[in-house]
Structure 1
Amino acid sequence: MRIVTLEEHFTSPELVKRIPKEVIADRGWTSPENAPPIMQQAQKLLPEVGDIRLKSMDEAGITVQVISVSGPGADLLPPEEGVQLAREYNNVLAEKIAAYPTRFAGFAHLPMTAPEAAADELERAVKELGFCGALINGTTNNLFLDHASFMPILSKAQELDVPIYLHPNFPQKAVREAYYGNFPDAVSSILASGAFGWHAETGIHILRLFASGTLNRFPKLQLIIGHMGEMLPFMMARSEDMLNKELVKSDRSLSEVLRQQINITSSGFFTLPPLKTAIETFGIDRILFSVDYPFSENEKGKAFLDNLDLPAADLEKFLHGNADRLLKLKV
C-alpha cells in the first residue's frame, strides 16, 4: 500500500553557516560535539536527499516523504537576511525534490521575523515551487502564532488552502533554564526537546491559538502537529472543561476546533496506546502516519505498521489517504 510520511527533515550545513553561532546557541541548539548521540547521528543524515534516504524509504515501504527544513533557520536572522535565507533554502529543497518528483514533496521554510514577506514566500513556494504548505518551528522571538504580527501568514495559508505544520522548537532561554537546567548539556537538551519540552510547548501553542480566538478568526485554516498530537489527545477533555467556550468567548468548543482544524501525525511514536487515544479523540480522518526521519528510524516505523490491526479503510486513511487529501498530493 502507498505510504506517505510528512514530518521528515533536511538541512543545508552551508546555509546554516550564515547564522551566527552565538545566535544558534542562544536558541537552545547544542554544538555538534556536545549534542546527544541521537542528534549527532541525525546531523550526518539530514543533508542527504538521494540514494541513502531512498534506500531507507524503500526498505520501510515508504512511497513519499514530505520534506521540511530542520534545525537553525531563517527565524534566527533579522528580517532582510531571513528573507534571503528562506528563499535560498526553498530553492535548494525544490531542486532536490525535482530530482525525484514521485518520491519527495516539500513544506516551505518561512522568514518568520518578516511576516509579510513570509506570506509572500509561502505563496511563491506553493504556486511556483509546488510545495504543499509550510512548516514553522515553534516560536519566533519568543512570540507564539497568536501574536498579531503573524496574521498575514495565517491568512495567506487559509487563502491558498494549504496547511501549516507547527513543529516543536526549543523553549525560550528563561524557560529552558528554569525547567530543564542544572543537568549536563546533553541531558538538558533532550529534556527540553524530544523527551518532553518540545511536546508540552507545542500543545500549549495550539491551546493559545484557541484561547486567543485565532483559530476562530481563520476557521478554514488547517494546522498539522506531530508526535501523536503533542499531548492534546490525552488532555482534550480536561482542557475543554477548564478552557471552556464561555470563558474564551468562542462559538465552538475546544474539541470542536481541534477536530475541525488540527491534524495529527504519528511522528516519533511507535506504540499503540497513543495511537488509540488519538483516534478515539480526534477521529481517524485527522491522523496521518509519519516517522520523523532521521531523528527516528524508518525501520521503527515499518515495525510499528507491521503490528497494527486497523480496519482496512482506516489503515488506508492513516497511511496515505488523509495526507493525499490534506496536501493535495499527486497520486
Structure 2
Amino acid sequence: MHTHLINHGGAIPMKLITVEEHYDTPRNIKAFNQYSTVKNNNPRQAQLAPDLVDFQRKVAYMDQNGIDLQVISDAGNSPQVLPDAYAVAEAHAQNETLAENISHYPTRFAGLATLPANLPEQAAQELEYAVTKLGLKGGIISGSVNGQFLDAPRFEPIFAAADRLGTTLYLHPGVITTAQKALLYESDAYSDFTATMMAGAMWGWHLEQGIQMLRLITAGLLEKYPHVKLASGHWGEMIPMFLERIDGFSSLTSQLPLKFSEYYKRQVYLSSSGMFTAPQMQLVLTEMGADHVMWSEDFPYVQAGTTTRTFLEQADLTPDQRAAIAHGTAETLFQLAPQH
C-alpha cells in the first residue's frame, strides 16, 4: 500500500490506518428516520450525510490527509436501535452494502458489521455471516441496548460467536436513555442543548461505555470467552485511568482468577477516536503498551484533516511505538494483510 503524502528526503513514510471511522446508506437513513424511537442527537448529522454515504468522498479525504486505510462501521444511525421487526433485515442490508462498497476499494477500507444486538441469536448469526461470507473484520455495538448492558445473560450468544470466530467486537458509545439524561445532565442552570452535549460526546457517552466495559469484565465474559477481543475508543472511555483503583477492590468484589486489569490488558484494544491529546496517549501507553493501541479519527464526525497524521508523526514515541499505533496493532487485531 502506498502512502498518499509526498515522500520528502527518501525516508519510508508512515503507513496510517484509522479504525473508528463511519459510514451510512440512504436506505438506513430512511429507516432510521421513519422507525427509530432513539433520535440521533448529533446536530450536524444531516449535513454529514454526504461524507457518510459517498465512498469516493471518503477516498478523496483520505488521499488529501495521508490516511491509507479506514476500518469503517455504522455508528450514529445504527439499525441496532430500530424496533425488533426491522433491526435484523436492516442490519443485514447495511452489512451487504458495506461489503459491496469495500469491494470497490479493497486496499482502502475494511469493515465492521452492524449487529441487531437486541436479538442476540440473530446478532450472532449476522456476525458469523459478515465475518465468514462478507469478509468483515468483526462487529460493532453502540452503547447499551434498550437501556440494558451487555453483561445480561441474554446477550451471551454474541460473545460466544465472537469467541468462536476469534474476532473483535468494537464497543462504541450510543445515545443514553432519556431517564439517564434527565437524572445526570439536565439542569435549570444551563440550556437543554448543553445538557444534550454533556450527555453525549462531551461526557455521557464515554461514561456509559466505560460502565459497559466495567460490567462485562466483572461479570466474567472475558474469563469465559478468552478468544473474543474488544475494541474501545476515546482512549478507553475512562477505564485506563482507574485500572489500579478497580483492581484494588477486586479481592472484595470478584471471584475471577485474574485481576480486572489482566483481562483488560489481555483482550481490550484502545484507539484515540479523534482525541489527539498527549496526556491521555501517554497514560494509555503506560497502562497497555503500543501493541494494544490504535489510531482513529472518528470520521466524519471529527474531521481533523492533516492533524490526524501529523499529531502521531510528531508525538513523543519510539519508532516501534509509532509504527504499532499507526498500523501494526490494527493489522494484527483486524487481520489486515500488511501491504506496501
Work out whether 1:247 is the aligned partner of 2:253.
yes
Matched, 1:285 2:298: no
**Displacement after TM superposition at 1:137 (Å):** 0.4
Query: What amino acid sits opposite 1:100 in the alignment?
Result: Y
**CA deviation after TM superposition for structure 1 residue 10, in Å:** 0.6
Q: Which residue of 1 aligns with 2:170?
A: 165
- The structure-2 alpha-carbon separation of the partners of 1:85 and 1:201, relative to structure 1 and needing over 3 Å to count, comes to same
CA contact (8 A) 1:28 1:173 kept: no
Output the amino acid matched with 1:47: V
Q: Unaligned 5+ residue runs, structure 1?
A: none
Aligned: 1:2 with 2:9: no
Report how many aligned residue pairs link the two structures: 322
Structure 2 distance, partners of 1:262, 1:270, is 20
User: Is residue 151 from structure 1 mapped to residue 118 from structure 2 by the alignment?
Assistant: no
Shift of 1:264: 0.3
**Residues 207-260 of structure 1: CA deviation (Å, up to 9, x unaligned):** 001221222111221100000111111111112213x14421110001111100
8 Å CA contact 1:110, 1:136 repeated in 2: yes
**Other-structure match for 1:205:** 212
**Residue in structure 2 matched with residue 127 of structure 1 by the alignment:** 132
Which residue pairs with 2:230 in the alignment? 223
Name whichever of 315-324 and 11-20 sits farther off: 11-20
Q: Does the 8 A contact of 2:21 with 2:70 survive in 1?
A: yes
CA contact (8 A) 2:80 2:114 kept: no
Residue 234 of structure 1 is aligned with which of 241, 253, 258? 241
2:301 to 261, 278, 295: 295
Q: CA deviation at 1:167?
A: 0.2
Residue 328 (structure 2) aligns with: 321
**8 Å contact kept, 1:12–1:47:** yes
User: Quick one: structure 1 residues 13 and 189, their matched pair in 2 at CA, closer, same or farther if it must change by over 3 Å?
Assistant: farther
Q: CA RMSD in A?
A: 1.7
**DSSP 3-state at the match of 2:151:** coil
Q: Quick check: 2:162–2:168 contact (8 Å CA) kept in 1?
A: yes
Please list, as runs of the form range in 1=range in 2, the aligned pairs for 1:25-104 lying within 5 A after superposition.
Answer: 27-30=38-41, 35-37=42-44, 39=45, 41-50=47-56, 52-104=57-109
CA distance in 1, matches of 2:79, 2:315: 39
Shift of 1:21: 4.9
1:8–1:65 contact (8 Å) kept in structure 2? yes
Superposed displacement of residue 115, structure 1 = 0.8
Change in 2 beyond 3 A, CA 1:189/1:28 = farther
- Matching residue of 2:271: 265
Question: What amino acid is aligned across from residue 235 of structure 1 in structure 2?
Answer: F
- In structure 2, C-alpha distance between the alignment counterparts of 1:67 and 1:185, rounded to whole Å: 31
Spell out, residue by residue over 1:100-159, the C-alpha distance to the aligned partner (whole angstroms, 9 max, x if none): 111011000011121111111111101111000001101111111111111111000011
Check conservation: 1:267, 1:289, Cα contact below 8 A: yes
Contact 1:210 1:257 in 2 (8 A): yes
Counterpart amino acid of residue 36 in structure 2: V
Overall identity of the aligned pairs, in %: 35
Would you say the 8 A contact 1:245–1:252 is kept in 2? no
State the distance in 2 between where 1:99 and 1:174 align.
Answer: 43
Q: Distance in 1 between matches of 2:287 and 2:201?
A: 23
TM-score (norm 2): 0.90
- Residue 172 of structure 2 contacts residue 232 of structure 2 at CA under 8 Å; is this kept in 1? yes
Deviates more, 1:299-308 or 1:165-174: 299-308
Q: Which residue of 2 aligns with 1:187?
A: 194
Secondary structure, aligned partner of 1:6: strand
One-letter amino acid of the counterpart of residue 19, structure 1: F
Aligned to 2:25: 12
Q: Residue by residue, what CA displacement relative to the aligned partner does 1:62-86 show, whole Å, maximum 9, x if unpaired?
A: 1110110122222223334211001
> Where does structure 2 lack aligned partners over 5 or more consecutive residues?
1-13
Instruction: Tell me the CA shift for residue 59 of structure 1.
Output: 2.2
Question: Following superposition, which runs of at least 4 residues in structure 1 exceed 6 angstroms of deviation?
Answer: none
**C-alpha offsets along residues 14-58 of structure 1, whole Å, 9 cap, x if unaligned?**
32322355734xx3523xxxx535x455344222211x2112212
